[in-house]
Structures are given as structure tokens and as C-alpha cells.
Homo-oligomer: A and B are copies of this chain.
């Protein structure tokens, strides 16, 4: 029976659609509650919906905890539960309902409560269970992790260098906009990522030249991660193809015992 429940909450299309619908409605509720008129006029509706959502998500969490021994193969019944509770989705599931329960036990002041309510946003990650094709992208990103982290490091060096130089160049001309390196960093990020809000920009000649160089490097900075991710995707596509071919005509070599592609002669 436990297996049936486990299968139901993971595969029953109607249940899944209900949960995903509920998650999307929850996010919509957070967005709508930010509108003053809605927050005041429909506060009761929003509160009731939150109560309803928490009940459902709590039930889901309890059932997932209970059926954890179907999910995981190895370990004792208790260690399986711990495994689920400390898994990425297990943590998300508990954090997403925690902001409702915590204030019942601890007397928080308003500010802490407000931050706690932000945890409700984590419900959006529950949508991640949805997609199996998301794994492709996650795998590709994982494979390129070391090269992408170098890109991040290069970006960090570029940002620090350019913002420090810009601070020295522009501090006198625009003391209120380039008051310290922290504010110059804000300009650096906006330029290197080519966002360019236009709230801060250099006005001195040297500053403009540095800005131009950083903006042009920004183009290369976009090219680098793109090239890395592209190559990983292409490698994946080709490996998948090779696997297909490898699975087609297989022959076992009696000499060395290796399985290899059959040479059709």
C-alpha cells in the first residue's frame, strides 16, 4: 500500500497537475498580495488560501517522509527518512512550509516574520520535480563547472580591477557617484554585463576610455561561457549519438573479451 501511495504522489497525472497548479497559484498569491488594493480587500481570501496550501504541502511532506523507504534502496528505515529530509527537495519542502509553523511556536517580531514569509517563495523550486529534461541542462552545467567557475573568477578580477581604477579616475569629477569602490563596482557590473542602466557612467576622458575597454571586454566575457556551454552541449549530443550507434551492432571479441561495434563484412 505504501508503494501505491508513493507511486500515486510521484506519477498520478491528476495529483501532479493539482500540486503544480497549487504551486503556481501560491506564487500568483505572493505577487498579488504585493498590490496594496488586493492585500487590503482580499486579505481573508489570501489567508485562507495560504492555510489551505500549507495543509496540502504539509500532508505531501509527511507522505514523502513516510514513503522515503520506497524512494531509497539502501539503509535503515530511519536513515532513509534522514536521507530524504536532507536531500535538496526535502529541504525545500520543509522550508516552504516552515514560515507558517515557526511563528506559532516562537514570538517573532514583525521584521523577522517578514523575512520568514519570503521562504514561501521556495515553493517555486518544487516545480523543478516536474521536468525530466531539466536534467540535460543541469548535467551540461555540471560538466562545465570548473571552466565556468574560472569565468566567474575572471569576471571577479575584471570587476575589482575596473572598479578600483574607475574610482581613482572619476572620484574627483563625480564624488557623489564614485564615492567609494563599492559604488564603482555597481558601475562595473552594469558595464561588463552590458546592462548599462545609465544611472552611473564616467564623464572624464580616461574614465570613458576605461569604460569602453571594459564594455568591449564584456563582449568577450559573454562569448566565453557561451563557448564553454556550447561545446558541452555538442559533446553531449555526439556522445548520445555514439551510444546509439554502439548499441546497434555489437559483437564480443573472443580474443580480448571487449564488446565492440560489429564490422559488417
Which residues from chain A sit less than 8 Å from chain B, CB to CB? 27, 30-31, 34-36, 114, 118, 121, 124-125, 127, 131, 133-134, 136-137, 140, 146-148, 150-155, 157, 160-161, 164-165, 167-168, 179-182, 184-186, 189-191, 193-199, 201, 205, 208, 211-212, 215-216, 218-238, 251-265
Contacts and interface: CB of A to CB of B under 8 A. Distances in A.
Nearest to A179: B36
User: How many chain copies does the complex carry?
Assistant: 4
A226 B205 CA distance: 30
A257 B265 contact: yes
The 4 A-B pairs at the shortest CB distance, nearest first, are namely: A258-B263, A260-B260, A227-B229, A198-B198
Given A216-B189, A230-B226, A256-B263, A199 B199 contact: no
Nearest to A121: B164
Nearest to A213: B189
Given A194-B194, A223-B229, A227-B233, 11 more contacts: A31-B180, A134-B153, A137-B224, A155-B216, A182-B205, A224-B229, A226-B226, A226-B229, A227-B230, A232-B237, A235-B238
A230 B234 contact: yes
Contacts of A254: 253-255
A164 B225 contact: no
Contact of A258 (B121, B140, B261): B261
Given A198-B198, A220-B225, A226-B223, A133 B146 contact: yes
